[in-house]
Amino acid sequence: MGVSATKPLKLTAAEKDLIRKSWAVCVRNNANLNNFSVNIFYEVFKQIPGTLAMFEQFKGKSSPDEVRNLTGMKAHCLRVSAIMNAMILELDDPVVLVEMFRNIARTHYRLGNHIGKAHYDAFGKIFIQCVAAEVGRGFTEEIENAWIKAYDGVKDSLMSTKLELEG
């Protein structure tokens, strides 16, 4: 799909609306957005072997249950929550979105996190599963497809920036 500076996610107005409305349900269903993010990372750590070890702050921990309530987990998830929320708010501003995606990729690269396509693919599936769980029966195929399309654009931007940095 690819991401460009002029139309990074190639989403229609209807798709953006579906994303915004389903996101609002995710935020409303949680005491705060951070809880939603903690649930996502808990699932990532459960479902993707080796991801827990990629986090310096969780050295010596071997299970998602050990980190779920740690300050380091909550702090990381708070940063991720803020970024996710900002992305949703900025769906109509392609320049800001592209810079946000590039900054995320640069940060991961600088930290030495060798996150590849397989990691991003797995994270995307888990993220969309968590959105679906929050939205419940109202989670339609249309909503799912909008999220998949959006996430694929984000992933493409993250990967292209990573490849540029590895140059």
Structural contact between residues 22 and 131, judged by C-beta atoms closer than 8 angstroms: yes
126: confidence class by pLDDT, cuts 50, 70, 90 = very high
| Cβ neighbours for 117, distance < 8 A, ≥ 6 positions apart | 155, 159
Q: What is the full DSSP assignment across 88-137?
A: HHTTT-HHHHHHHHHHHHHHHHHTT----HHHHHHHHHHHHHHHHHHHGG
Q: What is the pLDDT of residues 128-155, one digit of tens each?
A: 999 999 999 999 999 999 999 999 988 9
Structure tokens at 105: 């990729």
More confident residue, 26 or 111: 26
More confident residue, 1 or 97: 97
- Name which of 85, 83, 90, 82 is nearest 9 in CA terms: 90
pLDDT score for 12: 94
pLDDT score for 4: 42
Structure tokens at 152: 């694929």
Is residue 16 predicted with pLDDT exceeding 80? yes
Name the least confident of 22-31, 40-49, 57-66, 77-86: 22-31
Stated pTM of the model: 0.88
